[in-house]
Amino acid sequence: MELDQGGQPMPQQGGMPPQQQGMPQEQPAEAAAGAEDMEQASPEEQAQYEKLMENALSFIHGEQSDQLVERLAQGEPEEAIADVAVSLVIKLYESAEQAGQKLMDSVLMAGGEDIVNEVINLGVVAGVYDFEEAEGEAVQQEAWFIALDKFGRYINQTGQFDEQGLRQGAEEAMAGKYDNVDIGAL
């Protein structure tokens, strides 16, 4: 699967899934930042990211999309978006572990944030959300931080918690530096 300049999967043969047609596009500055991040990815990271996003997109826009839309319509948008995104990331994380693969922290960070964005897009396209640009950005940021917290709690409950790594990862995530964040510590 090829990525566009913003690090998003490009449509496969046959074009975009019907759910994605008419979706809001990234701003040029965001696309340039995403392309910069992806240029730094190793071939292994890129391959893992592509597989993670392929699986995530097939789930988000597959048979389960109606159920996801129903979940997005319940509660505050930030919480609902985070809940859907984290449940999907956990499912993909556990699936990779069962297959003997450990998802790299950088892949989880980049993929997790993109999954949050895809979940928001699903809600917008389905008519659950109608955000103005500034409001949408605030919701995205809050949902992302809630998702990080929820995934961190999951890691803690599974016994993979590293307190020092958590502190360092939280500081780096708040500063917008994802390259060195240890997801396993969250």
Cα separation of 180 and 186, whole Å? Answer: 13
Is 4 a member of any domain?
A: no
Cα separation of 117 and 159, whole Å? Answer: 28
Confidence of residue 182 (pLDDT cuts 50, 70, 90): very low
Percentage above 90 pLDDT, the chain: 48
Domain boundaries, position 128: 42-185
Is 20 a member of any domain?
A: no
CA dihedral over 46, 48, 50, 52, signed as positive or negative: negative
Work out the average pLDDT over 16-25. Answer: 37
Least confident of 74-78, 82-86, 181-185: 181-185
Is 13 a member of any domain?
A: no
Is 23 a member of any domain?
A: no
- Global pTM reads 0.68
Is 152 a member of any domain?
A: yes
When divided into structural domains, the chain yields a total of 1
Is 140 a member of any domain?
A: yes
Q: What is the pLDDT of residues 105-127, one digit of tens each?
A: 889 999 999 999 999 999 999 99
Is 3 a member of any domain?
A: no
Is 142 a member of any domain?
A: yes
